[in-house]
Structure 1
Amino acid sequence: MPTPFDSMPILLRAFALCVLLAGCGAQSPPAFPEPEPDAIAEANGTGEFISTPVEAPPRAYDVRKGTDWPEADLADGTASISCELDYANLGDGEPLANLSFLGVADALTPCQEVGLVRLRYEGKINAGFHALVERVAAIADRMEIGKRVLDIDSSGGQVEDAIKAGDAIGASGWTIWVREGASCHSACVLILGAGDVRMISGPVGIHRIIRMSSTATSRAQLNEELQAVYGRVKEYLARNGVAVAVADMMMAVPNRNLRLLTADELLEYGLDGTNPAQDDLDRLQLMRKCGEDFVRRRDAFQRNFDYHCKVPDRELEELTDCGLALRDQYGFPDETCPDDSPMSEFDMVRSAFFRQRAPVPVVPEDVPQGGDESASTQTESAGPTASMPEQAASGSL
């Protein structure tokens, strides 16, 4: 006896049979193997700006609280801690490889009296670097070390880790140096953008992000994948006062190439000098704390510093000398707010230096001026100006 099913057209029968048997449901897409870590490292080379697959976040742990810090290691990078700004004469301090609570605390203890720490980092931007800056800032907070300088030399790394590290830097008050002989390329530019103040003497370069886990087979697919990453980069740049045009410029530079930013571009895009976003916040706080006149003089100093001191190819030593000489014209360091005055870190280092020095002999007033040239020279060399070697051959906050 014929059934309704028998009277259906052949194609309709096939469709109905598929529905009944649940055999025509959506198939799972084929699983593409993730690249091996060695392959990622090889593709990363010395200067790639890469984005890695987003993994489940590890157990949240705030290193600002407690002492039982999770294990963390530096990979593809080296770090050292110094309590001095004068790297030209005094070097970069002691190596820091142990990122445990006690390891970081021991490294920063000598800097507690000075009130300043300089973290020198050479290497890739990765999870180890993120842990490094986060942990050094956490101990600096506990020890009330208010002046923090990140002295960086990096060819780039992973964008996700750069954003995490940049957010940690932006929340903890760092000055970023790219000194002569150093460079800041690719993902390092995101780190540069996070600083309260940026002092640049080395090259800064950008290029496209490449996602190593991409399955794209066309430019349209590749662009769709990268738009999500660039969206995060633009949001990050915007909250740090950097022009989002920097992200657009990245898109136009092939990953195998590098576009160096000029001094004018660095200023125009908010990557050099005072961070615009932080500056707005500082102005509001300083107005309440130090008064309108302080803020007016500070603004005037900053404008003239940018115009007179920040000339192309000027080394940090020259930049510092120019700034220290210029700030005297504006009444800095301010008696009411010395710690908030421009380049106040040099005053802190100088004060610590004098506390450790032997008393300077006082020349009797009856010594004839110019009569004893050797005595006059000796007394003058012991004064404040000569106490810091070449006024500290390095940058400023």
Structure 2
Amino acid sequence: MRLHWILIALCLLASACSRQPGPTLTSANAEAELDSGPVVQRKPQDAIDWSPVRLEAGDAWIDCSADYTLGGGRPLLSLAYEDLRRSLQDCRATGLMRLRYKGKVTASFAALMERSGKVAGDLGIGKRILDIDSAGGHVEAAIRAGDAIGENDWTIWVRGDSACHSACVLLLAAGDMRVIAGPIGIHRMIRLRSSATSRKELGEELRTVSDELRNYLERNGASDKVYDLMTTVPNRTLRILSVEELDQYGLSGANAVEDDLNRIRLARRCGTDFLQRRDAFRRAYDAHCAQAVDGETQDVDQMNDCGLALRGRFGFPGEQCADESPMAELDGAILMPRIAQDVPEEAPPDPTPTEQQSPAPATGNAKPARAVRVAPDSDDAPTPHGPSAGEDPAAEATEEAAAAEPDDVLPD
């Protein structure tokens, strides 16, 4: 009889071991499920899928300089690991890469951000700039790309000759630093091929992504008002955000979440005096460089030159923590000692054959450099600049933008 029960117990154990383990719920997930609130944390980047992929709705260029007035850089023709590594190899000398992208936010763009950040890290390229011009795209792809941006320390530029509309706005939430001269527009997300026949059905379709979107905005320090606009502004129109709104919504300047993490780290490494001087510089930069001068809107190159001229007043870059000084992404030479060491060759876990991309234009839209004026210290309040200077912040977009095909869609 005893042998009989032992055999039954062994069979039960074998059966349990043969089953596939079910999904486990972490304590953080359990808590989120109970109170239906988002968990505030940086989202770890998932393992990168290196399957062949093409940029189907945009073009990309790589440059190892922050001076975009000289052109867009070399066209990026392939997203395969080895091809990306070859494209970025020269940027080891400057410690900086500038990725210029013109097109829609799609799954292939998200792959571009994941892969370029990974390869830049493997090569020791610590400063990364996303120089973007996008009319929008897929919300879910923007969230995926934003998570890659947030985990790989990107500065985001929207130049005066560029724009960032609809789903592109979500990318701004994730950047460590956002330098904006072009128009930023937002509207309601929609699934163009929806099968919904009622408001209730349409709401149910969007509810799944809504929770993910709220969580994404909160963990990146952006305001819930961005979500509100993405659910209320009619899709056929475009709401252009003012400079004040961009700041209030956490979409411009230094990222508040990343800044908090940096303050803890920099206090230990560089001291409180460094932090105080950095804070003083940022206040001066916001007052003098991120504003219009003599009523004339500045572009990104002017804001950069203004900041570089201004920071010397605050002792930047100094010998101590030079690579952490404000606007260090523009100081390639400072970063050279950090990348001079040999970086071992690495390959992705599952290398795939090289995929070729359709040729992109050889250069971007080059424009002549303009003189930069640093505003003198005075009590006069500078005139705000930006996409909505001199116009009602709540105004709808121009007739051309309103008539454009809605592209802030959820993929089917």
What TM-score do you get using the length of structure 1 for normalisation? 0.70
Partner of 1:347: 331
Instruction: Find out whether 1:288 has 2:272 as its counterpart.
Output: no
Instruction: Find out whether 1:211 has 2:197 as its counterpart.
Output: no
Q: Which residue of 126, 129, 137 maps to 1:146?
A: 126
Q: Which residue of 79, 83, 90 maps to 1:103?
A: 83
Cα deviation code 1:46-86 (max 9, x no counterpart): xxxxxxxxxxxxxx8536xxxxx321111110001000111
Distance 2:327 2:248 in 1: 22
- Give runs of aligned pairs for residues 119-198 of structure 1, distance below 5 A: 119-198=99-178
Contact 2:48/2:114 (CA < 8 Å) preserved in 1? no
Q: Which residue of 50, 56, 62 maps to 2:48?
A: 62
SS of the equivalent of 2:275 reads: helix
SS of the equivalent of 2:331 reads: helix
Q: 1:259 deviation in Å?
A: 0.5
Distance 2:141 2:370 in 1: 37
Cα deviation code 1:176-225 (max 9, x no counterpart): 00001100001100111110000001000000010234332222332233
Identity of aligned residues (%): 51
Distance 1:251 1:214 in 2: 16
Distance 1:84 1:349 in 2: 11
Distance 2:333 2:201 in 1: 54
Instruction: Find out whether 1:72 has 2:67 as its counterpart.
Output: no
Q: 1:160 deviation in Å?
A: 0.9
Partner of 2:250: 270
Distance 2:291 2:282 in 1: 14
Partner of 1:26: none
Q: Which residue of 278, 289, 292 maps to 1:309?
A: 289
Structure of higher RCO (CA pairs closer than 8 Å, 6+ residues apart): 2
Distance 2:47 2:176 in 1: 25
**Structure 1: 5+ residue stretches without partners:** 1-59, 64-68, 353-388, 393-397
Distance 1:224 1:134 in 2: 30
Instruction: Find out whether 1:81 has 2:65 as its counterpart.
Output: no
SS of the equivalent of 1:177 reads: strand
Counterpart AA for 1:341: S
Contact 1:320/1:391 (CA < 8 Å) preserved in 2? no
SS of the equivalent of 1:211 reads: coil
Partner of 2:3: none
Distance 1:92 1:213 in 2: 35
Q: Which residue of 311, 319, 333 maps to 2:303?
A: 319
Moved more, 69-78 or 307-316: 307-316
Partner of 1:257: 237
Q: 1:351 deviation in Å?
A: 8.3
SS of the equivalent of 1:229 reads: helix
Distance 2:176 2:125 in 1: 16
SS of the equivalent of 1:199 reads: strand
Q: 1:308 deviation in Å?
A: 1.9
Distance 1:335 1:323 in 2: 19
Q: 1:154 deviation in Å?
A: 0.4
Q: 1:302 deviation in Å?
A: 0.9
Partner of 2:348: none
Moved more, 287-296 or 303-312: 303-312
Distance 2:370 2:319 in 1: 25
Contact 2:323/2:335 (CA < 8 Å) preserved in 1? no
Counterpart AA for 2:53: A
- Give the direction of change, closer, same or farther, for the CA distance of 1:349–1:316 in structure 2 (3 Å limit): farther
Distance 1:189 1:98 in 2: 26
SS of the equivalent of 1:335 reads: coil
Q: 1:350 deviation in Å?
A: 7.9
Moved more, 227-236 or 323-332: 227-236
Q: 1:127 deviation in Å?
A: 1.1
Partner of 2:12: none
Partner of 2:312: 328
SS of the equivalent of 1:333 reads: coil
Distance 1:61 1:71 in 2: 15
**Structure 2: 5+ residue stretches without partners:** 1-45, 337-368, 373-412
Distance 1:350 1:320 in 2: 17
Contact 1:321/1:391 (CA < 8 Å) preserved in 2? no
Contact 1:116/1:349 (CA < 8 Å) preserved in 2? no
**Computing the radius of gyration over CA atoms, which structure comes out larger, 1 or 2?**
1
Cα deviation code 1:87-138 (max 9, x no counterpart): 11x2111000211111100100010111000000000101110111111111
RMSD of the TM alignment (CA)?
A: 2.0
SS of the equivalent of 1:145 reads: coil
